[in-house]
């Protein structure tokens, strides 16, 4: 059964899915506060500017398995909001590439 987690004022800053086969997918986060809302990190596309705790694999793939920034309670939503302008710029620049 899906666990909606802690109730948040806007109803969208926290989501937990304890039925996920990978839950919790990152260590060092209290399972009761583990936020699955950003299962796929929207900051990943920012590469080294994401602000998270990541490494690169030997083959050059960004490895975010050590990052818990977006998964501790509702704080992750604030981090994404802080970086939204950069994400929007990135999306616009990719849109221009597609139009060319």
Q: For residue 70, what pLDDT is reported?
A: 92
pLDDT tens, per residue, the chain with 100 residues: 444 444 445 567 888 899 999 888 888 888 888 999 998 999 999 999 999 999 999 999 999 988 999 998 888 888 999 999 999 999 998 766 655 5
Q: What does the alpha-carbon distance between residue 67 and residue 49 come to, in Å, rounded to a whole number?
A: 14
Q: For residue 6, what pLDDT is reported?
A: 47
Q: pTM of the full predicted structure?
A: 0.73
Q: Provide the token pair at 69.
A: 């920034």
Full residue range of the structural domain in which residue 55 is found:
1-100
Q: Number of folded domains in the chain?
A: 1
Q: What does the alpha-carbon distance between residue 23 and residue 17 come to, in Å, rounded to a whole number?
A: 7
Question: Residue length, the chain?
Answer: 100
End-to-end CA distance of the chain: 47
Q: What does the alpha-carbon distance between residue 4 and residue 37 come to, in Å, rounded to a whole number?
A: 10
């Amino acid at each position: 059964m899906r666990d909606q987690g802690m109730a948040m004022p806007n109803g969208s800053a926290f989501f937990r899915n304890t039925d996920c086969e990978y839950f919790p997918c990152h260590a060092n986060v209290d399972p009761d506060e583990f936020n699955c809302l950003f299962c796929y990190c929207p900051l990943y596309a920012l590469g080294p500017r994401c602000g998270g705790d990541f490494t690169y694999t030997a083959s050059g793939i960004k490895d975010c398995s050590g990052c818990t920034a977006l998964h501790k309670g509702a704080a992750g939503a604030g981090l994404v909001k802080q970086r939204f302008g950069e994400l929007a710029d990135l999306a616009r620049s990719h849109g221009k590439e597609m139009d060319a």
